[in-house]
């Protein structure tokens, strides 16, 4: 995914710099280019990232420059600044930040799931909370396996990811997930499966699930 992102950004960078160097300022020429540059940045960089802030600051400068005048595309007055912001974004991706950005977005999404599971458990919805927390755990374990280049037989699951990480630990290729972690993961996985497949007989209380959610949060915080 990171390679495709970088290739996409480099292609857009070349189009923008070539157009800038041609010294054209035609609205019909620049409008689609600037829109595509902005869309690319917005789709890769998380909200509130400095790159997006710098882009918006440049657009604001453009609007300020033409205040009181009728211009279809005020951004064209700050084209060098906008292209410069995009070039900085490309450099960040070349330096390896694409993977870290993706990891950050995944971690934020998983965190939201666990926050929702916490809220459900506090409201007494133990089954729904355990299913949601287990899904967050499974996604995180899969990401960990991908980080260490691990494989597993058949379709993935909490148990299979946990087994792959355990085998890697025994081989000395990963020390992040300890044997104690593996025991907890096994227990959480069993609870998630029971909640998902036999909810009518789920034996854990909301308090039990709340403790599990907190444990998963701590595990994720330590192994991100």
End-to-end Cα, the chain, rounded Å: 19
Residue 194's CB is within 10 A of a number of other CB atoms, namely: 18
Percent of the chain's residues with pLDDT above 70:
89
pLDDT at 6: 80
Q: What is the per-residue pLDDT across 189-221, written as a single tens digit (0 to 9) for each? A: 999 999 999 999 999 999 999 999 999 999 998
Q: Which residues of 88-105 are buried (b: 16+ CB within 10 A; e: fewer)?
A: ebbebbeeebbeebbeee
Q: What is the pTM of this model?
A: 0.56
Name the residue with higher pLDDT: 202 or 77.
202
* Pair of tokens at residue 32: 């689609």
DSSP letters for 51-119? HHHHHHHHHHHHHHHTTTS--S-GGGGGHHHHHHHHHHHHHHIIIIIHHHHHHHHHHHHHHHHHHHHHH
Unique residue bearing structure tokens 């802030």: 53
Long-range contact pairs involving 51-60 (C-beta distance under 8 Å, separation at least 24): 51/85, 51/88, 51/89, 51/92, 54/85, 54/88, 55/82, 55/85, 55/86, 58/82, 58/85
Give tens-digit pLDDT for 133-181: 999 899 889 888 888 888 888 888 999 999 999 999 999 999 999 999 9
């Amino acid at each position: 995914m990171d390679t495709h992102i970088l290739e996409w950004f480099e292609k857009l960078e070349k189009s923008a710099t070539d157009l800038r160097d041609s010294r054209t300022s035609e609205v019909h020429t620049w409008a689609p280019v600037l829109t595509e540059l902005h869309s690319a940045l917005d789709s890769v960089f998380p909200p509130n990232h400095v790159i997006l802030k710098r882009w918006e600051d440049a657009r604001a400068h453009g609007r300020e420059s033409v205040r009181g005048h009728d211009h279809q595309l005020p951004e064209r007055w700050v084209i060098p600044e906008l292209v410069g912001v995009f070039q900085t974004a490309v450099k960040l991706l070349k330096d390896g930040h694409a993977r870290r950005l993706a990891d950050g977005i995944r971690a934020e999404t998983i965190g939201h799931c666990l926050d929702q599971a916490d809220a459900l458990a506090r409201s007494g919805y133990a089954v729904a909370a355990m299913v949601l927390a287990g899904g967050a755990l499974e996604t995180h374990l899969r990401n960990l396996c991908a980080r260490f280049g691990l494989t597993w037989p058949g379709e993935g699951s909490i148990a299979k990811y946990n087994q792959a990480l355990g085998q890697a630990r025994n081989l000395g290729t990963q020390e992040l997930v300890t044997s104690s972690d593996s025991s907890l993961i096994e227990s959480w996985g069993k609870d998630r499966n029971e909640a998902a497949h036999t909810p009518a007989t789920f034996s854990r209380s909301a308090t039990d699930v709340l403790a599990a959610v907190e444990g998963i949060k701590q595990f994720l915080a330590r192994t991100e």
